[in-house]
Amino acid sequence: MGLLPVVIVGASLGGLRSAEALRRSGYAGPITVFGDEPHAPYNRPPLSKDVLGGGDVTHASVAFPQRAATADVDWRLGTRIASADLERRLVRTADGTEVPYRALIVATGLRPKRLSARTEGLAGTFALRTLDDAGALSDALTPGTQVVIAGSGFVGCEVAATARQLGCEVTVVGSGKLPMLGPLGPALAEELMRRHEAHGVRFRLGTHVAEALGQDAVEGVRLADGSEVACQVLVEAIGSLHNTEWLHGNDVDVDQGLRTDSAMRVLRADGRPWVDVFAVGDVARFPNAIYGDVPASIEHWNIPTETAKRASRILAMQLAEDPDVDAAIAERFAPVPSFWSDQYDIHLLAYGLPALADRMELLAGRTDGECVYGYFVGARMVGVCGIGMRSEVMKFREEVSRYGHVAIGEPA
Amino acid sequence: MLKVDVDRTQCQNFGQCVLEAPNVFVLNAKDEMEYTPVVDDSELENVEAAIDVCPMQAISLVSGR
């Protein structure tokens, strides 16, 4: 019997970067990556923008380049892992095959939350997470089509902009007071809504879709206030769920993400780490030193890469019996979250976590043009976000990354 | 030397590469990305990191020798 592989479950950004970082960190042994989608790793952010809007819904247009160092990785695509036994160190595929591992990296990410209203089997209802989702939705966004988007977060707003540019009639239904209120704060969220409305998007805020109307195909929605909006396309963009069900029955904490320590090692319920099980990317709920080490999952694009590098380096050192591994585990882990969003000609770029702020302040430019806002908790900057003005936004990244640094004697 | 290539049809001047490899990539006064196409081998790690963080996946390493 040969050496057991490092098994990575999840073949998207986090899984890919984990495999690459294992090689870069000197691990030369076998790596097996399982992915439930049939596609090799690809970049998801363009799905709601260029892919949906441009009609080029091909894997090649979004595929991540494969590096030579990972050419010998065993990619098991289209193979869903159904369960795991962390005590026995194995995972099981959907057909029951047991795959033993030397170490496990969990990179199973998120899936879209669906409406509690019945939409299953109703033609014209969509969620957007995968390339295949984008292909299906793209075909439905024809000029003149009435589109209701449930959810006014990143995905909802981006799909609204794209659908409007394709000539659809768009209504966004959001439970908050303003679209993208959490990440943008009131002043920018209000401006974003104003610009969407100037493009002809309608908003129904402070309510939600209570019922989808129609027998075989969606014909409209009934909102919580009893009013109805006609549509032929309903996009469900109300948030995400962590893909952790396959870990059921193991001693792990899956409340709002798979809990890890700052070395990205998965924790048991009592807080002790599984030394050979790591989690990376959107699925992981990890402590970030910038935010006082309170474990949180951060669903921003740069986090899979940052957490994969962290986990893989420590795992590679462990497998090599490197005496410095304990020092590496103890190192401060403080990845700066970053996000961006493109809607029409609005290019948003942000660092930090504006959603934590109690106050926002215009730092540069004009809100109705290009601008930069700072987000503060007391006197401390916790986030920065701009429309355009990227160099200006980037100047504040350093300050935002120091949010959690409290000097001795300084009030927190 | 390393040869770096940026697909200009993809690049949208996010500037994330600038944070990872400031000796190779810069944002100019108009917020447009400019880069040095041939750089020293010592930049390999930084360029690899820049490739990783590019939201548009527009950067590639043509050859390293």
Domain residue ranges in chain B: 2-64
Residue A347 and residue B12: Cβ atoms within 8 Å? yes
Interface-testing mutation among A390, A393, A401, with chain B (most B C-beta atoms within 10 A):
A390
Q: Which amino acid is at A369?
A: G
Show residues of chain B in contact with A386, CB under 8 Å. Answer: none
- Coil, helix or strand at residue A2: coil
Q: What backbone phi and psi angles, to 5 degrees, belong to A369?
A: -130, -120
Measured between CB atoms, does B52 come within 8 Å of chain A?
yes
By Cβ distance, the residue of A17, A389, A390 closest to B14 is A390
Measured between CB atoms, does A226 come within 8 Å of chain B?
no
Measured between CB atoms, does B13 come within 8 Å of chain A?
yes
Query: How high is the pLDDT of residue A295?
Result: 80
pLDDT band at A56 (very low <50, low <70, confident <90, very high): confident
Q: What is the mean pLDDT of chain A?
A: 94
By Cβ distance, the residue of A305, A340, A394 closest to B52 is A305
Span A171-181, pLDDT tens digits: 999 999 999 99
Residues in A 232-271 with any Cβ partner in B closer than 8 A: none
Span A118-135, pLDDT tens digits: 778 899 999 999 999 999
DSSP E strands, A122-165: 125-127, 146-150
| Dist CA B41 CA A120 (whole Å) | 54
- What ipTM describes this predicted complex? 0.89
Domain positions in chain A are 6-43+64-111+241-330, 114-238, 345-401
Calculate how close chain A gets to B38, using CA atoms only, in Å. 20
| Dist CA A143 CA A154 (whole Å) | 23
Helix axes A154-165, A181-198, angle to 10 degrees: 20
* CA trace torsion A210, A214, A218, A220 (10° rounding): -50
Q: Which amino acid is at A135?
A: G
Q: Would you say residue A410 has pLDDT above 60?
A: no
pLDDT band at A50 (very low <50, low <70, confident <90, very high): confident
Mean pLDDT (whole number) for A33-38: 98
Instruction: State percent of chain A over pLDDT 70.
Output: 97
Residues in A 85-104 with any Cβ partner in B closer than 8 A: none
CATH 3.30.70.20 fits B2-64, yes or no: yes
Residue B55 and residue A389: Cβ atoms within 8 Å? no
A6-43+64-111+241-330 topology per CATH: FAD/NAD(P)-binding domain (3.50.50)
Q: What backbone phi and psi angles, to 5 degrees, belong to A273?
A: -80, 145
Q: Would you say residue A12 has pLDDT above 90?
A: yes
- Count CA atoms closer than 13 A to A193's CA, side-chain side: 23
Worst-scoring range by mean pLDDT, A119-123, A226-230, A405-409? A405-409
Worst-scoring range by mean pLDDT, A34-43, A139-148, A238-247, B22-31? B22-31
Q: Would you say residue A305 has pLDDT above 80?
A: yes
Query: How high is the pLDDT of residue A411?
Result: 47
Q: Would you say residue B65 has pLDDT above 70?
A: no
Reading phi first (left if > 0) and then psi (alpha if -120 to 50, else beta), residue A183 is in alpha
DSSP A166-199: TT-EEEEEESSSSTTHHHHHHHHHHHHHHHHHHT
DSSP A323-366: TTHHHHHHS---PPPEEEEEETTEEEEEEE-GGG-SEEEEEEE-
Q: What backbone phi and psi angles, to 5 degrees, belong to A300?
A: -115, 155
Calculate how close chain B gets to A252, using CA atoms only, in Å. 30
Query: How high is the pLDDT of residue A412?
Result: 43
- Residue A411's contacts (CB-CB under 8 Å, 6 or more residues apart) are none
Mean pLDDT (whole number) for A12-27: 97
Query: How high is the pLDDT of residue A119?
Result: 79
Under CATH, which architecture does the A114-238 domain have? 3-Layer(bba) Sandwich (3.50)
Residue closest to A369 by CA, chosen among A198, A214, A191, A201: A191
Q: Would you say residue A407 has pLDDT above 70?
A: no
Show residues of chain B in contact with A308, CB under 8 Å. Answer: none
Please say whether the beta carbons of A258 and A285 come within 8 A. yes
Instruction: State percent of chain A over pLDDT 90.
Output: 89
Query: How high is the pLDDT of residue B63?
Result: 67
Please say whether the beta carbons of A237 and A155 come within 8 A. yes
- Coil, helix or strand at residue A151: coil
- CA angle, residues A84, A88, A93, in degrees to nearest 5: 30
Tell me the two tokens of residue A147. 């589109």
Residue A391 and residue B27: Cβ atoms within 8 Å? yes
Span A154-204, pLDDT tens digits: 999 999 999 999 999 999 999 999 999 999 999 999 999 999 999 999 999
Q: Would you say residue A141 has pLDDT above 70?
A: yes
Q: Which residue of B has its CA nearest to A17?
A: B52
| Dist CA A180 CA A158 (whole Å) | 11
By Cβ distance, the residue of A305, A391, A397 closest to B31 is A391
Start-to-end Cα distance in chain B: 6
A345-401 topology per CATH: Enolase-like; domain 1 (3.30.390)
Q: In this complex, how many residue pairs, one in chain A and one in chain B, have their CB atoms less than 8 Å apart?
A: 35
Residue closest to A19 by CA, chosen among A63, A67, A70: A70
Span A336-353, pLDDT tens digits: 999 999 999 999 999 999
Residues in A 320-349 with any Cβ partner in B closer than 8 A: 338, 340, 342, 347, 349
Interface-testing mutation among B10, B57, B60, B62, with chain A (most A C-beta atoms within 10 A):
B57
Worst-scoring range by mean pLDDT, A18-32, A255-269, A280-294? A280-294
Q: Which residue of A has its CA nearest to B45?
A: A24
By Cβ distance, the residue of A17, A388, A389 closest to B52 is A17
